[in-house]
């Protein structure tokens, strides 16, 4: 006997959608303290499975948004679907984004999914912070250890993330940039 984890739609209407997310083997009485709960690898795998299910729902919402735009504007038609691969802390996400085009006009249709990043902001920021605190290689190794589903954890990626984050911070207007609070104490030993 095993267990399965599902996302169940709640709210409007009577028909609710169910998406099977993950399966667990039989859950038995633990033999020791080490056997209590989920191990790190299983927890990361389940988080990745949940994230992929959410991305599938977001893909459906993008498709519905594209259909709505086509119904509202008869000059808009579906060009194709662009496959986007986005690195996250819980694995690589793949999403098919509908691309729209106008017939008979030169002006483009605004994209349904803004941005061109190949990774989530959370992933980029964590790599930049860890890379600022330790060597690039150690930061990449720590991300690989803590988030086994994440990929791209090499020293060069960490270095690029630090420079990208520094550039993003320096591009902010002075009013937006907040001053860091002074340290209360510093331990040197």
Strand (E) positions, the chain?
3-8, 18-24, 76-88, 91-102
Q: What is the pLDDT of residues 98-144, one digit of tens each?
A: 999 888 777 788 888 887 778 888 888 888 888 888 888 888 888 88
Distance in angstroms (rounded) separating the CA atoms of residues 55 and 48: 10
**pLDDT > 70 in the chain, percent:** 90
- Is residue 18 within 8 A of residue 9, CB to CB? The reply is yes
Answer yes or no: is pLDDT of 160 > 70.
Answer: yes
- Is residue 53 within 8 A of residue 90, CB to CB? The reply is no
Instruction: Tell me the CA distances in angstroms from 181 to 122, 125, 172, 185, one per residue in order.
Output: 23, 20, 18, 12
pLDDT band at 179 (very low <50, low <70, confident <90, very high): low
Which residue, 25, 100, 21, 13, is CA-closest to 54?
A: 21
Name the 3-class secondary structure at 130: helix
Q: Helix axis angle, 136-146 relative to 155-171, nearest 10°? A: 100
Q: What mean pLDDT comes out for the span 157-177?
A: 77
DSSP 12: S
Q: What is the pLDDT of residues 54-95, one digit of tens each?
A: 999 999 999 999 999 999 988 899 989 999 998 888 888 899
Distance in angstroms (rounded) separating the CA atoms of residues 91 and 123: 10
Residue 24 CA, distance from chain mean position = 23
What is the value of pTM for the model shown?
Answer: 0.74
> Is residue 130 exposed (0-12), middle (13-18) or buried (19+ Cβ within 10 Å)?
buried
Answer yes or no: is pLDDT of 189 > 60.
Answer: no
Instruction: Give pLDDT, residue 67.
Output: 93
Distance in angstroms (rounded) separating the CA atoms of residues 162 and 148: 21
23 beta partners = 4
């Amino acid at each position: 006997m095993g267990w399965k984890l599902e996302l169940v739609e709640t709210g409007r209407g009577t028909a609710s959608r169910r998406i099977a997310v993950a399966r667990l083997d039989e859950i038995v009485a633990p033999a020791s303290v080490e056997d209590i709960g989920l191990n790190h690898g299983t927890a990361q795998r389940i988080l990745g499975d949940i994230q992929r299910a959410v991305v599938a729902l977001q893909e459906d919402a993008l498709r519905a948004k594209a259909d709505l735009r086509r119904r509202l504007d008869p000059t808009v038609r579906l060009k194709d679907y662009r496959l986007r691969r986005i690195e996250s802390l819980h694995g690589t996400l793949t999403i098919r984004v509908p691309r729209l085009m106008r017939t008979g006009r030169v002006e483009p249709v605004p994209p349904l999914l803004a941005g061109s990043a190949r990774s989530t902001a959370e992933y980029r920021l964590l790599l930049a912070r860890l890379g600022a605190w330790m060597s690039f290689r150690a930061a990449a190794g720590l991300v690989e250890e803590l988030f086994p589903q994440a990929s791209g954890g090499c020293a060069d990626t960490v270095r690029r993330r630090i420079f990208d984050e520094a550039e993003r911070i320096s591009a902010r207007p002075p009013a937006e940039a907040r001053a860091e609070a002074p340290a209360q104490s510093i331990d040197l030993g």
